């Protein structure tokens, strides 16, 4: 892991209290995308992870996972799989409902997005309780891929989601933070 990049991320991630509701410390990853050089460093580091793990497809969870996932897929010349909120994908989809730390939601993926030959990396900005990541894993496992991996920018480690994912899949994050 690039320790210099981690320190730079720690200095640059904005934390916004009481957003989207009281008691939440929102970790604002747009502070990465606002800085072109830092954003590029993050994409390069994630791309190294893709190559080291022989990933064949990159998936991103709506919406901030799209930012990082699509950039990594482009950098690595790989297909990108959007994992979207309900009703946003045309055609045949798999769906999964899940709970958030502040509500409920549902995500979907196209039924032809992957195959048993794929090694899929799912990227998202952060993991909190693990509801979204677990739902994404459920969806992607419908394809019975060779391997399913995760990478997050931030692990809100006091909420325990990363440990749940790490017990089942290879997972990584740049930062550990209190949410």
Q: How far apart are CA 55 and CA 118, in angstroms?
A: 7
Query: Which residue is catalytic, options 101, 104, 119, 147?
Result: 101
Query: Which residue is catalytic, options 8, 62, 64, 84?
Result: 64
101 is catalytic: yes
User: Residues 6 or more apart from 36 whose CB is under 8 A from it?
Assistant: none
- Burial annotation 108-138 (CB, 10 A radius, 16+ → b, else e): bbbeebbeeebbbbbbbbbbbbbbbbbbbbe
Assess contact for 79 and 86: CB atoms under 8 A: no
Q: How far apart are CA 151 and CA 148, in angstroms?
A: 11
Token digits for 25? 């410390």
Catalytic site residues?
A: 64, 101
């Amino acid at each position: 892991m690039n320790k210099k990049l981690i320190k730079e991320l720690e200095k640059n991630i904005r934390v916004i209290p009481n957003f989207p509701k009281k008691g939440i410390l929102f970790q604002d990853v747009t502070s990465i995308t606002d800085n072109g050089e830092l954003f590029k460093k993050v994409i390069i580091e994630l791309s190294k992870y893709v190559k080291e793990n022989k990933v064949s497809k990159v998936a991103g969870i709506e919406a901030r996972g799209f930012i990082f996932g699509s950039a990594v897929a482009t950098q690595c010349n790989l297909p990108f799989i959007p994992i979207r909120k309900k009703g946003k994908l045309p055609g045949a989809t798999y769906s999964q409902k899940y709970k958030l730390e502040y509500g409920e939601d549902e995500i979907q993926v196209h039924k032809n997005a992957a195959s048993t030959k794929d090694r899929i990396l799912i990227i998202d900005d952060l993991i909190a309780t693990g509801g979204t990541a677990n739902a994404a894993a459920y969806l992607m496992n419908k394809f019975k891929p060779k391997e399913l991996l995760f990478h997050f920018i931030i692990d809100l480690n006091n909420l325990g989601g990363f440990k749940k994912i790490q017990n089942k899949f290879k997972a990584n994050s740049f930062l550990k933070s209190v949410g």
